[in-house]
Amino acid sequence: MIVVTRRGVSDAEIDRIRERIEQLGLRTHISRGEHRTIIGCIGDEARLAEASLLSLPGVESVTPVMKPYKLAAREFVAEPSRVRVGNAVIGGPALAVIAGPCSVEGRDMLRTTAQSVKQSGAALLRGGAYKPRSSPYAFQGLGVAGLEMLAQVRAETGLPIVTEVMDTRQVEEVSGFADMLQIGARNMQNFALLSEVGSVQRPVLLKRGLSATIKELLMAAEYIMARGNRDVVLCERGIRTYETATRNTMDVAAIPVLKRETHLPVIVDPSHAGGRADLVAPLSFAAIAAGADGLIVEVHPCPAEALSDGDQSLTLEGFGRLMEQLQPFATAVARPLGGAATSPTGTAAA
Amino acid sequence: MSDPDALAELARIRDAIEQLDRDLVALVARRVGLARRVGAVKRAAGLPILDPPREAAVVRRAGVLAREAGLDDDEVRYLFWHLIGLSRRAQLEERAPDA
């Protein structure tokens, strides 16, 4: 249920409306837009029948939200959400590009990659310190040493860092380094992990599961948001189909559907979707044309020597070319390509 | 941040924050203690333990005070729902009140 208030509603009137709803054991969530304020109700909506909300001063309309997700629903907020990550913004007017290696393999390779992708226009740096691999014998990541390298390269380049957290036991440690926590596709329905990242004040990049429906993706986001963390960015990264020519099948239609269903920013991972470096550019063009708010792209100084996902990584030059080729698509959707990142930054700790 | 004066100032402010955190935790403990007493009184009087209208009023008051203090009322409301959760659990505990 959402309550839309009249223009010029006072703080006291909003307080009264929220109290009336909360008296019935529900919780409220407020979204103040330029023209209207929306009060979202979470809980047993049947109880609201006795609240006679329409009779309260300041209330313009009361509408049920017939969806299993509420906090993530587009109707729940006045304006689409912008998620600030360090000095970058995802979901703002500018398209945000996250780039970097699949996994952090060493300080030098990370530094070289970060400097280069920044030069080419990336706003954020990705890099895995903990890697979910299909084989227990494959490279599992550098762990805390990798996190320290990411933090050092952030200090040098100013690029906020996005890195994956795989386990509830890692959340605190990774949050100490990362500007944004990534939940990988394989963990999209790890509800214990979703709850844990919902409790920390770090933006979350939530990747769609390999066989998850759009509704399941949104319910996963709802899990995080229900714990108080509203800074969630969704990522379409390809789903599993019968097609074997590509690693996954990029669900282009998911982008406009998500943009209609939710206020959360939506980005696309063309590297995992196609699984091949030569597919990254065309899939990126499609993503931007379909309305994505940004991209997350794997880049490696020497993909042939990469310890993971070398086939789908762009070279540094290849990423530079991609950013140039993206320009006309960005112009077509009337959004600048960038997303900020100019001065060095760090995660603050009081 | 290598200026010694700035570092000394940072250390002073952090000391003050640390002291404030200690005070905050002590206040939360006092609030939970009072809630426990409320629970015992309600039980003795045969009153229901859960009281959503009272909780809604507490949160509303906290929001108003937050605005007056120049804080984001929604963030403070959120903090108070957490505090109320703590207090509610304390009230539900079947034990004699402390002091």
Task: Kindly state whether residues A159 and A282 are assigned to the same domain.
Answer: yes
The residue of chain A nearest to residue B21, with distances taken between CA atoms, is A350
> Residue A306: its pLDDT value, please?
86
Contact flag A23-B53 (C-beta cutoff 8 Å)? yes
**Closest C-alpha among A119, A177, A121 to residue A348:** A177
B99 part of a folded domain = no
A97 part of a folded domain = yes
- Print the domain residue range for B68: 4-92
pLDDT higher than threshold 70 for residue A47: yes
Portion 220-249 of A in contact with B at CB < 8 A: 228
Q: What is the pLDDT of residues A279-324, one digit of tens each?
A: 999 999 999 999 999 999 999 999 988 888 788 999 999 999 999 9
pLDDT higher than threshold 70 for residue A268: yes
> Residue A122: its pLDDT value, please?
97
What residues in chain B have per-residue pLDDT under 70?
1-2, 94-99
> Residue A349: its pLDDT value, please?
37
Give helix then strand counts, H and E, for chain B: 3, 0
Whichever domain contains A229, its CATH number is 3.20.20.70
Residue linked to tokens 């930054």 = A345
| Count of domains observed in chain B | 1
Q: Which residues have a Cβ under 8 Å from the Cβ of A332 and sit 6 or more positions away?
A: A289
Task: Kindly state whether residues A237 and A295 are assigned to the same domain.
Answer: yes
Distances in whole angstroms, Cα of residue B41 to Cα of each of B37, B57, B86, B98? 6, 20, 18, 12
User: In the beta sheet, which residues pair with residue A37?
Assistant: A32
Give me the half-sphere count of Cα atoms (radius 13 Å) on the Cβ side of residue A178: 32
> Residue A342: its pLDDT value, please?
43
More confident residue, A272 or A50: A272
Taken in order B84, B89, B93, B99, the sign of the CA dihedral is negative
> Residue A135: its pLDDT value, please?
82
Across A147-161, average pLDDT: 96
C-alpha to C-alpha distance for A220 and A332, rounded to whole angstroms: 32
Provide, as residue numbers in chain B, all residues whose Cβ is less than 8 Å from the Cβ of A15.
60, 63-64
Determine contact, residues A182/A207, Cβ cutoff 8 Å. yes
B51 part of a folded domain = yes
Give helix then strand counts, H and E, for chain A: 10, 15
> Residue B3: its pLDDT value, please?
86
Query: Reading across the β-sheet that carries A27-32, which strands appear in turn?
Result: A27-32, A37-42, A2-5, A59-63
**Closest C-alpha among A33, A116, A133, A37 to residue A80:** A33
Interchain CB contact of B61 with A (< 8 Å)? no
B98 part of a folded domain = no
Across A11-28, average pLDDT: 94
Q: Which residues have a Cβ under 8 Å from the Cβ of A203 and sit 6 or more positions away?
A: A83, A84, A85, A90, A179, A180, A181, A231, A232, A233
Determine contact, residues A180/A202, Cβ cutoff 8 Å. yes
Task: Kindly state whether residues A126 and A179 are assigned to the same domain.
Answer: yes
Contact flag B63-A15 (C-beta cutoff 8 Å)? yes
Provide, as residue numbers in chain B, all residues whose Cβ is less than 8 Å from the Cβ of A24.
52
Confidence of residue A339 (pLDDT cuts 50, 70, 90): low
Task: Kindly state whether residues A172 and A51 are assigned to the same domain.
Answer: no
Q: Which residues have a Cβ under 8 Å from the Cβ of B50 and sit 6 or more positions away?
A: B88
DSSP string, A96-155: EEEEE-SB---HHHHHHHHHHHHHHT-SEEE-BSS---SSTTS----THHHHHHHHHHHH
Confidence of residue A344 (pLDDT cuts 50, 70, 90): very low
CA distance A44 to chain B (A): 13
Give phi and psi for A178, each to the nearest 5. Answer: -85, 150
Task: Kindly state whether residues A159 and A219 are assigned to the same domain.
Answer: yes
Confidence of residue A346 (pLDDT cuts 50, 70, 90): very low
Q: Which residues have a Cβ under 8 Å from the Cβ of A222 and sit 6 or more positions away?
A: A68, A69, A70, A71, A72
- Print the domain residue range for A24: 2-64
Across A148-171, average pLDDT: 96
Task: Kindly state whether residues A119 and A48 are assigned to the same domain.
Answer: no
Of A160-169, A339-348, B48-57, the one with minimum mean pLDDT is A339-348
A251 part of a folded domain = yes
Across A144-154, average pLDDT: 95
Whichever domain contains B51, its CATH number is 1.20.59.10
> Residue B95: its pLDDT value, please?
59
More confident residue, A50 or A223: A223
Query: Average model confidence (pLDDT) for chain A?
Result: 92
Interchain CB contact of A11 with B (< 8 Å)? yes
Determine contact, residues A101/A306, Cβ cutoff 8 Å. yes
> Residue A46: its pLDDT value, please?
85
Provide, as residue numbers in chain B, all residues whose Cβ is less than 8 Å from the Cβ of A27.
81
| Count of domains observed in chain A | 2
